[in-house]
């Protein structure tokens, strides 16, 4: 087998902007392993439902549940709030409803990134209306300085500065989700 080198390790040039390396694949994966261990421990004897928020959380959810060593289920919400911009529109629309019944279940909402907290607040309100047994939030990234809504993030991969990031599920105008590492906008 020929050795395949990842060519995307330097910077990402989108046209107007330059993104530089921020969180490497190895660092992301080892943090996800730790999160998986913690969640496995916290949910012993239970069968949690991991609900990913599309599109951004699809990679994180996939890697996270590979590190969950108890029975679990998955489902997805699809929200839209950003359009193709780097700044939130401040509006959230539900594009895909859940297929599972959350009543009486232990729910873990899985997000790629929490910025203002609006999306999480929206989802929490939606889920709470269906009386789950419990509800926690797990986000790979959190921008603590950008939080505007009163939300508690129970499992956090990394707290990061309020800068725009791409890669590992996170997009800019729908692109760059396929990058294995996370890159930050160079200012």
What is the binding site for ligand IMP (CB under 6 A)? Answer: 53, 56, 81-82, 88, 111-119, 164-166, 170
Binder of residue 123, out of Mg ion, ligand IMP, none (CB less than 5 to 8 A by kind): none
Complex with ligand IMP: residue 158 or 164, whichever CB lies closer: 164
Binder of residue 88, out of Mg ion, ligand IMP, none (CB less than 5 to 8 A by kind): ligand IMP
Give the angle subtended at the CA of 53 by the CAs of 51 and 59, to the nearest 5°. Answer: 90
Stretch that binds Mg ion, among 12-20, 53-61, 89-97, 150-158 (CB under 5 A): 53-61
CB of 54 to Mg ion, least distance (A): 8
Site membership for Mg ion, residue 157 (CB under 5 A): no
Please pick, among 75, 115, 125, 145, the residue that the annotation labels catalytic.
Answer: 115
With beta carbons less than 8 A apart as the criterion, state whether 171 and 93 touch: no
Taken in order 39, 41, 43, 47, is the CA torsion positive or negative? positive
**Separation of alpha carbons 47 and 73, rounded Å:** 7
With beta carbons less than 8 A apart as the criterion, state whether 59 and 46 touch: no
**Separation of alpha carbons 187 and 45, rounded Å:** 47
Stretch that binds Mg ion, among 9-17, 85-93, 106-114, 147-155 (CB under 5 A): 106-114
**Separation of alpha carbons 80 and 21, rounded Å:** 26
With beta carbons less than 8 A apart as the criterion, state whether 47 and 40 touch: no
Query: Is 63 tagged catalytic?
Result: no
Residues in 109-128 at the binding interface with Mg ion, rule: CB under 5 A = 112
User: Site residues (CB under 5 A) for Mg ion?
Assistant: 53, 56, 112
- Catalytic residue numbers read 115
């Amino acid at each position: 087998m020929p050795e395949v080198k990842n060519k995307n390790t330097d910077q990402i040039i989108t046209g107007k902007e330059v993104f530089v390396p921020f969180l490497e694949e190895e660092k992301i994966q080892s943090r996800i392993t730790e999160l998986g261990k913690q969640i496995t421990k916290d949910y012993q004897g239970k069968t949690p439902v991991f609900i990913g928020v599309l599109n951004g959380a699809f990679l994180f959810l996939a890697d996270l549940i590979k590190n969950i060593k108890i029975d679990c289920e998955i489902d997805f919400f699809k929200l839209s709030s950003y359009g193709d911009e780097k700044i939130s529109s401040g509006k959230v629309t539900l594009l895909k409803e859940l297929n599972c019944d959350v009543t009486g279940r232990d729910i873990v909402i899985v997000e790629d990134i929490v910025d203002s907290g609006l999306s999480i607040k929206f989802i929490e309100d939606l889920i709470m209306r269906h009386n789950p047994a419990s509800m926690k939030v797990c986000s790979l990234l959190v921008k603590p300085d950008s939080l505007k809504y009163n939300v508690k993030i129970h499992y956090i991969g990394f707290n990061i500065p309020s800068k725009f990031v791409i890669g590992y599920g996170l997009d800019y105008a729908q692109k760059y989700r396929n990058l294995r590492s996370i890159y930050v906008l160079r200012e």
